[in-house]
């Protein structure tokens, strides 16, 4: 859903940073690594302490590295596939840190087991969502579908967490976790069914 905004960020808003990093000789892989470390630090240090809105600001500052590194690689004419592999792998770490940080918040600060479990469900389903697409495409199928892809999950967590903490309205991020848990689970099911449909379809020659 939110992928449509990539062109704006990469082509306009973040272009000065992309050009500066290339001029300084910074590798896209370094940007990917620093971005992941920043997201993980913001989530795992701030969230468990109850500093939700502050953590969201830190995380948001580093999340944009996910748009910068790919645009840098394309502009530099980089053709190897290691960057894509590294980016996808570290994305899983960043996602786990975000929902893991929320789980720790509910365990240590809010002391709410229900939302602790929901945060863990979001963590697990988010990982399975990405794995299902990766494995499906590895087997030669199209698995890109679903209601909650990675950008949607990030925005769906960070925005309610920011305003919920800043305005002292915890219901915002509590409702968001319910929605994300449901949508992430539905997305996993959608991808499984899409791959199943393709896998069980008769060969073109038979049809």
Active-site positions read 91
Question: What is the distance between the alpha carbons of residues 128 and 188, in angstroms, rounded to a whole number?
Answer: 7
Question: What is the distance between the alpha carbons of residues 156 and 123, in angstroms, rounded to a whole number?
Answer: 13
* Contact indicator for 179, 192 with CB cutoff of 8 Å: no
Q: Which long-range contacts (CB under 8 A, 24 or more apart) does 79-84 make?
A: 82/29, 83/28, 83/29, 83/32
* Contact indicator for 157, 180 with CB cutoff of 8 Å: yes
* Contact indicator for 184, 122 with CB cutoff of 8 Å: yes
Task: Rounding to the nearest 10 degrees, give the CA dihedral for residues 186, 118, 172, 93.
Answer: -80
Report helix angle 28-41 to 82-108, nearest 10.
10
């Amino acid at each position: 859903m939110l992928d449509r905004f990539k062109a704006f960020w990469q082509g306009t808003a973040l272009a000065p940073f992309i050009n500066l990093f290339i001029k300084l000789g910074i590798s896209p892989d370094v940007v990917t690594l620093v971005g992941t470390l920043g997201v993980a630090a913001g989530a795992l240090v701030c969230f468990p302490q109850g500093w939700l809105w502050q953590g969201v600001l830190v995380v948001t500052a580093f999340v944009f590295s996910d748009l910068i590194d790919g645009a840098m690689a394309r502009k530099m004419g980089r053709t190897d596939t290691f960057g894509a592999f590294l980016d996808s792998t570290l994305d899983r770490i960043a996602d786990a840190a975000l929902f893991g940080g929320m789980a720790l918040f509910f365990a240590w600060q809010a002391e709410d087991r229900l939302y602790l479990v929901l945060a863990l469900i979001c963590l697990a389903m988010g990982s399975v969502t990405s794995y299902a697409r990766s494995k499906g495409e590895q087997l030669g199928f199209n698995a890109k579908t679903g209601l909650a892809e990675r950008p949607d999950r990030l925005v769906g967590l960070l925005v309610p967490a920011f305003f919920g903490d800043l305005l002292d309205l915890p219901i915002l991020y509590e409702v968001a976790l319910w929605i994300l848990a449901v949508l992430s689970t539905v997305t996993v099911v959608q991808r499984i069914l899409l791959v199943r449909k393709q896998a069980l379809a008769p060969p073109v020659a038979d049809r």
